[in-house]
Each structure stands twice: as C-alpha cells, then as structure tokens.
Structure 1
Amino acid sequence: MLIKNGLVVTMDPDRNVIRNGAVAIENESIVDVGKTERLEKEYYHLDAIDATNKMILPGFVNTHNHIYQTIMRGLSDDGESRHSSQYRWDIPLLRGLTKEACYASGMLSSIEMIRSGITTTQDSHYINFHGDAIDGIAESAKESGLRLVLGRGSWDLQGLAPEELTEDVPSAISESKKVANRWHDGDMINVILEASLLSQVTDELIVETKETARELGLGWGIHIQGPLGSHKDDPRSKNDSLRQYGGRAIEYLNSLKVLGPNSLLVHCTFTTNREIPILAQTNTPVAHCPCANAWAGRSVVTPIPSMLSRGVNVGLGTDGALTNDSLDMIHAMNFCALIHKVNYGDITVMTAEDVLEISTIKAVKALGIDHLVGSIEPSKKADLVIIDNKSIGMTPALLPIKNLIYSASSNCIDTVIINGKIALKERKFSLLDPLETVKTAEKQAQKILEKSGYLEDERFLLRGKFNYL
C-alpha cells in the first residue's frame, strides 16, 4: 500500500518530518519514505490511502502493561490503601484467571489499545495460579494482530502475595524457558523473563532469571515500586544486607550485576539523584507509568526529565487495571506531559516531542525491538498510526504534534496498521469484532466473580460513599 499526501513524522535519527509525505509498504515492511510526488511515480502499482489533512506516525508503544487485569477493570478500590485493596480483595479474583479468561482479557485489551493507536504492547504476567493462563495472553495477541513483548514473571518470597503464587527458583526457570520456547519468535511475540517485584523475590531469583535471559538471548525485567523494605509486609524489610543501600533499589540491583540495556526497570518511582548516573552508565532503560503511579497515591513522581537529561532511555506505559483502569495511550501521553511540569515547576520539561519519543522510538529501544519498529524508515516493519488532523481536539492543526499530546483524544485515531495489515480504518476495526469481544469478556468476568464469592458480598461490589437502592 502507499499512504500519501500526509505529514510524515518519521522519528528517524534526525527526527525528520516530511510535509506532503508518503510511505510505501510491501508485505509487512516499509520500503520507502519521502515526498508524495516521487513515491507516487515509483509505487503507482500499490493500493493508495489518501492521508490529506492527516499525520502519519510510528505506532504507539505501551512499554508496561498487565493484560490479565483488564477483565477486572474497576474492581481495585480507590477508597482503600494500595496494598489492602490489591492483595485482600483481588487474590480471590486472580484465582479465576484461567487461560480462557486471560484470552478474553487480552482481546478486550487489544480493542482498547488499537483504538488509541497502540501497535506494540509489553505485558508482565506473573499470576500463575493456572500454568497455561499466559498462553491466553499470547493467543489473544496473535488473534488481534498486536505486536507483543511477553514477560513471564516469577516470585519466590511470601509476604504481600499468597504462597500459591510463589515458585522455587528451579521451577521458575523451568517454566520461564517453556514459555520462551512456546512463544518467542523474535518478531510479533518477543518473550522476556522477569523477577516480578523486588519486594517479592530473592537475590537468587533475580540473578538466575537474568542469567537465563542472557543465555536465551532474551530481555529481562523487574518492578521497582518503592524503596527497599518500605512496606511493613515486605519480606525483604528484615534483610540486613539491604541496609547499606538505604533503600536505594537501583544501587542494590547494580551490586547484583543485573543492570544493562536488556534489563527493563519498571516504575523506579523513588529513584535518587545518585542512582540516575548508574542507569545512564549501564544503559538501563526505565518503563514509566505516570497514570498508575498517581492512581496508587505515590508520594513522589519518577524524575523522568532528570533521567532523560542524563541520557537514560525511557518508555511510556499505561500499566494495568489494578492501578490505572485505562489502556488509552493518548490519555497516558497527555498526563505524562502535565504531571512533570507540575513536579518540576517548569513548563519547559517533558515537551510534546519528548513525550512522543518515549511513546515510540525510545519505547521500542527500552523493549529491545528498535530494530523492528518505532520509526518510519525503510526495512522497518510497517506499524503505523494515522491521525485525523481535522478531528475535534486536533483542529486547528497548526502544530499537530502539540495538539496530539495536549488536546487530542483517541477519537483522533483514523487508521492503525500493524505489520503491514490494516487493523483499524476510518475508525472501524478491520480484523476484530468489538461487540463480540465485549460480550465474551463480560461472560468471563462474571465467571471470575462467581468463583470468587464476591457476588454475594455487597460490601465488595457496592463499597463506597454512595447508597445503592
């Protein structure tokens, strides 16, 4: 296909923006980018998409997500503390996450993400009550056409989570290898291994999962949500060996020699100024989820502008429904731009261009797939989003990149192309049936609630200050 007459924001190394530009696509790859006048002559044989009054961008990249959570959207209560809500109410729900439920959650997630311009998503899956549940996530990605970076997470310490979710290290490594063998293809599905949450894993699991990832040529990741030992139920809070680091998680991980360009650190909310140079020196990327951090009531904002100024690579993510409820990337980009201006008291930090970078080319670099996607260049896979510059929120399109970040909504998304296939055209899905997807998700959500026993507990479903009559 030939997409022509648009404003092409390439996100190439020179950050070229081509007025009246065109993108030629053959099979799943971009073969040429340039002015419409030239490409029309050379690629006259390709089916054309007219992008007049539209902006052509690389597809957006969701650098961190928990896809299984979408089917439980809204059930994590904002009237309770983060830990009491997630681990008291939700564990009975999580036990109902079968392969079928995760597939339904994945399809529902895909609808929402594609509708907001996401073409690649990461997923951290560490709820392994059912060993094949992660297969439901992978199968939903294959069905929907989304590009997926699939994280198989493990934890081996009891504390904030029940014993049923913990694995000994040999079992965790064995199961992680099985997932990699089943699903990693180096293209549409890339598997990474994860030591899920720093407060829930031993040093042995951290080191062994990282070493296994190195051996298999895979990425690795870990959540860092607060200072080491900061929560009273954190089993690592009693570990004397952590005290020398004063709660500084990045320093601690650096001492274990697990940092580097293939190690994705999620959140890093309480990163100190002395730790940012470590991230820069080791080329360790960070997944930033500002909406989730705000929802969870974090007392500080991750110092992303300071990280970027020191050369740390950052990717933007939505996180999952337990701490966000929304997978809308346009919303995440808008909030990211605004929250850092408040935090720094400086309107010049986190510009629209900065946010677009961490949602595209820097995001795929963080995930280790920048050789595949993230920019509009010949030989890259054709993952593109076309923005309607005449839509409400984008008009007048005098500075369309700024409009995209500060005033647009997902209604501005006109067309989404993933791996050379049209997933959304003129705001209508080409490959998916949204109504059927919603029906299936509702049925699976009902099954999860029935198994949990919460349907009989009005305190759970109707909790809050409003009186339901």
Structure 2
Amino acid sequence: MSTVALVIFLKNSHIVLVNCVTTIFIEGGYVIPVRPRYKIIRDGAVVVEDDRIVFVGKLDEAKRKYHSDIVIKARRHVIVPGFVNAHCHLFQSILKNIGIDMELVSWLRTSIHPTLTSFHDEDFYIAAKWGLIENIKSGVTSIIENHYGPRGHEDVIKALIESRMRAVLARGIYEVNVLIDILKETPEQALSHVESLVKKYHGYNGRLMIAVAPMHPYNASVELLLKAKELSDKYNLIYHTHTAESKKDQELVIQLHGESDVKLLYELGILGPKYHAVHAVNVSPEEIKYIAETGAHVIHNPESNMYLGSGIAPIPEYLSEGVNVALGTDGAGSNNNNDMIEAMRFAVLLHRAARSHPSIITAWDALEMATINGAKALGLEREIGSLEPGKKADITIIKLDAPHTTPVHDPLGAIVYCANEQDVDTVIVNGDILMLERQVLVFDEEKVKDEARKTAEKILDRAREEFNIKFPFEKYIE
C-alpha cells in the first residue's frame, strides 16, 4: 500500500497512523535542526521511529542505516522543528476583521466581548476546530490556547484533543474592569474551575496541559493574582497573562493598583520561570531587568501589536538581557490569521524598521522564537523545539517550489522572507501525521469551513440583537 493510500484509509477509519507503521523516513531537501544554530543540511533526512526522532543527517547515511515503513519525499522542501504558537485565542478564528482600526481596549469592549458572550457552547467547539486547522496548515505542532470567560473550556479542550496537537489550555479569568457582567468571575469560582480542569485534563494523552491565566492585571485584584500564583505553584502550572500590552491598559492598571503591571507582578513575587508575559510592549528598562532577573518568558505577538497600534515590544533588549522570547499569532481577531510564517517575518522586519538596523533581529532569531524558544516557554525544550535524535517527532515540512520561493539560495531566508502558510506541506506531531501534502487528516476541512461560516453569522446576529450594536464594517457595506 502506498503512503498516500495508507493515510487516506487511516483518515476515513480514524486510526492513528503510528499504530500501523513504526518508521517514517523523510528524505531529501534541506534540514534545519535549529540546534546547533547556523547549521543547514543539504540532501538531508530525518528518520522517526514511533514517536521519537532517531536520525538527523545526510540522506546517504540514513539509507544505509534505516529501513522505512513509510517514506515522505522532501526534495525541494525544508524540514524544520514544528512551530510553537505560544499565544492564541481560537474562538476569534471566526471573528476575523470584525473590529478594524481600533485600539485594544475599545476593540475588546465593542467587538470582541459582545460577540464572545453570544457564543453557544457548540460554537466554541466549531471555532476551535477551524482555528486548529489554520494552525496546522501554517506548520504549528504546539499551541497555547488562551480561552477566556466562564464558558466553552470543555468544548475547546475537545477540539484540542481531536487535533492531536501538543496543547496548553490557558484558562483565562476576568474579575474586574469588564463592561459585560457575564464575563466576570470571582477568584474562588474561576480558580476552582481551573483546578477541576487540572485534575481532569493536565497531562492527558501526554500532549495536553492546563495553565492559569488571569487575563490582564487591570482585570484582576491582587487577591486573584496571588491565588493564581498559589495554584500555579501547587500544580507546577504555566502562569499566562497579557502584560503591558498597550498604553491604555497601563493607564487602567495604574488606576486599579497604583503602579505598572510588571512592577506590581515583580513586587508580588509572581514573575518567575513559569510566568508568560504576553506582549510585554510598554515596559521601562527597569522592568526589562525584572523580567530577565526572574526568568520569566516574553511572548511576542508582533502582528497583533501593529494591528491594534499597541506599540513595539523591546525585543532586542529582551534578547540582550537573556530573556527567552517565544512567538505567537494572538487571536485571529487582532491578527486576522494564524500564520506562524508571517509572524516570523514580522518579528524580524518590525524591529529592523523601528531601529533602522538591518540585522537587529535575524531570521535565525525568528526561527528560534517559533521553535526552541516556544518549547522553553512550555517547559519542553528537552522534548521538542529542535530536530535531534531522542526528541519527540514534532516536525514541519515546507515546500519551496512555488514562484515566490524559487530559486532557493538560502533555505532559512526562503522560509522567513519568501514563504507563507500555503507552502507548509506536511505536519507531524509525536510521530502522527496530522497533515500530508496540504491535506489535513484530523478534521474534515470543508465540513468545518462550512460550519464556521454559518456559526459566525449566527453569533454576529445574536450580538446585534442582544447589545443593539453595529460592527464597524457595517458603516460602509450596503
């Protein structure tokens, strides 16, 4: 049976590929292992046995040493570690472009929160599936899904499990400074629910983790921030929070707490190796040192920051201070896609333009942010994030044979500066093939697309009726 026929059979009968084969042989093309840095293998190969990488090197050597149950031909392709999308809001995957040309807080209060409260439980499931399809098709193998509000978490988790991706459900919490009451929760209510999710799902199938995630310091009392830290310490959970995202949210946090959020979090003892400072845009030099000193991670979302006019995160300073910087797309409502290749490109070009410096952030920096740095933020750098024997087989294969990527002189440059998500060909997680030759195998893409379109229309209709609002785009569409 051929590779493609085997995979189609598996898709239709819902059987996991690695239960039928033991060795996947990816042959030809370039291999960028990420570790060591500045190494690209021409005419390379990666060999997978069950869920682990067993060989990374030259194709000729691989053919001498290994047999293959399944062969993926990768000539004119680049083989890289699977991308880690370190910050995403999957429900927004069906809310693209509903609130254009607005700053963060206004955008949240007039476009995102009204639609969020108009979701039914099954809508979260459909939106999550659609967002996961988009992530897979852009080469993402691990995702931090920051789902907020009191509803829909189990529905999102169901989609995460079905996707077979590596995932973190960062359970978002709003307590104060939210205009829609249904989104508000007490610390006791929210953290009790987080703990129940931890007991039920943390570590599920070896791929799913739960994180605690107060949404912003201006949405949380000191009590909530500290109790979330206690829960993080108790279960060794990631603490994932929007931090210093915009000037407006800094005004709100100062009104509530009397000081900026990074300084507040530092003084409360919350910053640390499990803390994710999502965005970390509007910070002082002193606050950069707080983040570096405590070993906290920064999650950079360049496209969202540009789209909402939130500012430019001081990524060069973070890197020079030794801070681990991972990369995210943020929600599709404030990015308008879930394309990690595009996120890498903007992570380079934004800072070069802002600093008038052609190499202040390099293509290598961007690839590391999207791979090994994301793995570090997950606490999984010994398992994923680079192509090395013994690591988990989380692999993305990118085809570089289109007009916009041809000819290929520098494979890394071709990925970061020429390619887009349409060039991602094959995605493997834990030895399972999730997408082969652009065909997603874990979901029925056309069916989910149709569901997503219909669901989005229903949600906007409910929001219009309940909140008596018009969305910005309705001003000029007749």
- TM-score, normalized by the shorter chain, greater than 0.5: yes
CA shift, 1:107, in A, is 0.9
Alignment partner of 1:460 is 2:476: no
Contact 2:96 2:334 in 1 (8 A): no
Identical columns (%): 31
Q: Of the candidates 49, 74, 82, which is equivalent to residue 51 of structure 1?
A: 74
Q: Of the candidates 268, 273, 294, which is equivalent to residue 285 of structure 2?
A: 273
Contact 1:229 1:237 in 2 (8 A): no
Distance 1:35 1:93, change over 3 A: same
Hey, what does 1:165 align to over in structure 2?
183
Give per-residue Cα distances to partners, 1:313-343, cap 9 Å, x unaligned.
Answer: 0011110033112111111111111110011
TM-score after normalising by structure 1:
0.91
Alignment partner of 1:22 is 2:41: no
Hey, what does 2:13 align to over in structure 1?
none
Q: Of the candidates 230, 240, 245, which is equivalent to residue 211 of structure 1?
A: 230
Q: Which amino acid aligns with 2:422?
A: N
Q: Which amino acid aligns with 1:386?
A: I
Distance 1:223 1:297, change over 3 A: same
Mapping of residues 69-80 of structure 1, within 5 Å = 69-78=92-101, 80=102
In 1, Cα distance between equivalents of 2:249 and 2:72: 54
Q: Secondary structure at the match of 1:387?
A: strand
Q: Secondary structure at the match of 1:398?
A: coil
Hey, what does 1:182 align to over in structure 2?
200
In 1, Cα distance between equivalents of 2:473 and 2:196: 41
Hey, what does 2:3 align to over in structure 1?
none
Mapping of residues 290-305 of structure 1, within 5 Å = 290-298=302-310, 300-305=311-316
Contact 1:394 1:400 in 2 (8 A): no
Contact 2:82 2:394 in 1 (8 A): yes
CA shift, 1:357, in A, is 0.5
Q: Which runs of 5+ in 1 are unaligned?
A: none
Alignment partner of 1:282 is 2:294: yes
CA shift, 1:438, in A, is 0.6
In 1, Cα distance between equivalents of 2:250 and 2:300: 21
In 2, Cα distance between equivalents of 1:228 and 1:390: 43
In 1, Cα distance between equivalents of 2:400 and 2:335: 28
CA shift, 1:84, in A, is 2.7
Q: Which amino acid aligns with 1:238?
A: Q
Give per-residue Cα distances to partners, 1:175-231, cap 9 Å, x unaligned.
Answer: 110111222116311111112111110111111111111111211111114478756
Contact 2:117 2:182 in 1 (8 A): no
Q: Of the candidates 380, 384, 399, which is equivalent to residue 373 of structure 1?
A: 384
CA shift, 1:34, in A, is 2.1
Distance 1:224 1:161, change over 3 A: farther
Q: Which runs of 5+ in 2 are unaligned?
A: 1-23
In 2, Cα distance between equivalents of 1:15 and 1:82: 38
Higher helix share: 2
Q: Which amino acid aligns with 2:390?
A: S
Q: Which amino acid aligns with 2:197?
A: V
Alignment partner of 1:198 is 2:209: no
In 1, Cα distance between equivalents of 2:249 and 2:401: 49
Contact 2:51 2:392 in 1 (8 A): yes
In 2, Cα distance between equivalents of 1:226 and 1:72: 21
CA shift, 1:13, in A, is 4.3
Distance 1:279 1:89, change over 3 A: closer
Distance 1:437 1:405, change over 3 A: same
In 1, Cα distance between equivalents of 2:236 and 2:330: 25
Give per-residue Cα distances to partners, 1:381-436, cap 9 Å, x unaligned.
Answer: 11111122222322111101012111212222121112212222222223322110
Mapping of residues 211-360 of structure 1, within 5 Å = 211-226=230-245, 234=252, 236-239=253-256, 242-243=258-259, 247=260, 249-298=261-310, 300-360=311-371
CA shift, 1:148, in A, is 1.0
Distance 1:203 1:445, change over 3 A: same
Q: Which amino acid aligns with 1:65?
A: C
Distance 1:242 1:446, change over 3 A: same
The range that moved more, 329-338 or 289-298, is 329-338
In 1, Cα distance between equivalents of 2:267 and 2:340: 35
CA shift, 1:461, in A, is 6.8
Contact 1:288 1:314 in 2 (8 A): yes
Contact 1:225 1:267 in 2 (8 A): yes
In 2, Cα distance between equivalents of 1:166 and 1:148: 25
In 2, Cα distance between equivalents of 1:11 and 1:173: 38
Hey, what does 2:412 align to over in structure 1?
401
Q: Of the candidates 99, 102, 108, which is equivalent to residue 130 of structure 2?
A: 108
TM-score after normalising by structure 2:
0.90
The range that moved more, 45-54 or 341-350, is 45-54
Contact 2:105 2:248 in 1 (8 A): no
Q: Which amino acid aligns with 2:384?
A: V
In 1, Cα distance between equivalents of 2:226 and 2:446: 45
CA shift, 1:97, in A, is 2.2
Q: Which amino acid aligns with 2:201?
A: W
Give per-residue Cα distances to partners, 1:123-164, cap 9 Å, x unaligned.
Answer: 111122x3xx0111111122222221110121322x244232
Give per-residue Cα distances to partners, 1:226-245, cap 9 Å, x unaligned.
Answer: 4787566x3x4434x624xx
Give per-residue Cα distances to partners, 1:43-95, cap 9 Å, x unaligned.
Answer: 114322222222100011111111111122222232x4432332134333212
**For this pair of structures, how many residues does the alignment match?**
454
Alignment partner of 1:446 is 2:457: yes
Q: Which amino acid aligns with 2:183?
A: L
Q: Which amino acid aligns with 2:303?
A: C
Contact 2:43 2:59 in 1 (8 A): yes
Q: Which amino acid aligns with 1:113?
A: N
